[in-house]
Amino acid sequence: MNDNIIWDPARLILQTVNYPRRRQELIHMPCLRFEDMAVTCRLLLRQDEASWVSVQVTDDMVRGKMSEEELFRTAGANSRRLLPPVVEDIRDVLKEYAADESLENDPENVENALRSAGARPKKADGFEEGLMYVVTNRKRIFGASTLFYSDVLHKLAEELDGDLLILPSSIHEVLALPYMGNEYDAAFRDMVRHANQTVVLEKEILSDSIYRYHRKQQRLSLID
């Protein structure tokens, strides 16, 4: 470990990345694989309103300090404390980041994708038909790890009264909407892959796949 880096378990956080694209790097890092994604840990070096500086936790950095189980348990608890999860109406995100070049910040593409997929989401109290939600954290940094907070997706699924379709838009967030049936899977998978090829930075690509959250079983699964 770099002598200038101070090891502080209270500053460990989670980061979820694409497994195939990071396969070689991940050989030297503690990670928990889930389908084509991998959960890793980072160590915060500096945080303020303007920036968050962190480094990837490697096997060498953590060796002799804590077990892998303790590492991920600590990073998970810290992430919830330092980066609390949020579920946002995509329209609010679009208004705030109208100029950003990312999947959720292109309203024309999102609306066209929904229309071309023939989307007809269910209605639920307090939620609007046809609406997507951005699942991330308060800082919108490494927010895709909220996928693995058991209560976040479950609460949204309960409010929408059904399963969820999860579109992994980047390592910083995922999109969620009511699952409408497998006849729409191909259109949404194409939407994610097109975004990865055209607007998402290579290092920020999370997945070329789409996922389903099963409300009754309370589990996440890859859609083949």
Digitized pLDDT (tens) for each residue of the chain, 224 residues in all: 555 788 999 999 999 999 999 999 999 999 999 999 999 999 999 877 667 889 999 999 999 999 999 999 999 999 999 999 999 988 877 766 553 444 444 545 555 544 444 444 334 444 454 589 999 999 999 999 999 998 999 999 999 999 999 999 999 999 999 999 999 999 999 999 999 999 999 999 999 999 999 999 999 999 98
The reported pLDDT for the residue numbered 97 is 58
CB atoms within 10 A of CB 14: 25
The reported pLDDT for the residue numbered 117 is 41
156 within 8 A of 25, measured Cβ to Cβ = no
d(CA 97, CA 94): 5
The reported pLDDT for the residue numbered 185 is 94
The reported pLDDT for the residue numbered 102 is 45
165 within 8 A of 212, measured Cβ to Cβ = yes
The reported pLDDT for the residue numbered 10 is 95
Tokens of 74: 């600590």
The reported pLDDT for the residue numbered 125 is 42
Tokens of 55: 């480094």
104 within 8 A of 70, measured Cβ to Cβ = no
d(CA 99, CA 198): 16
Of 156, 166, 170, the C-alpha closest to 189 is 166
Q: In this structure, what is the dihedral angle of CA atoms 151, 30, 39, 80, given to the nearest 10 degrees?
A: 40
Of 175, 138, 165, the C-alpha closest to 220 is 165
Model-level pTM?
A: 0.82
Specify the amino acid at residue 65. K
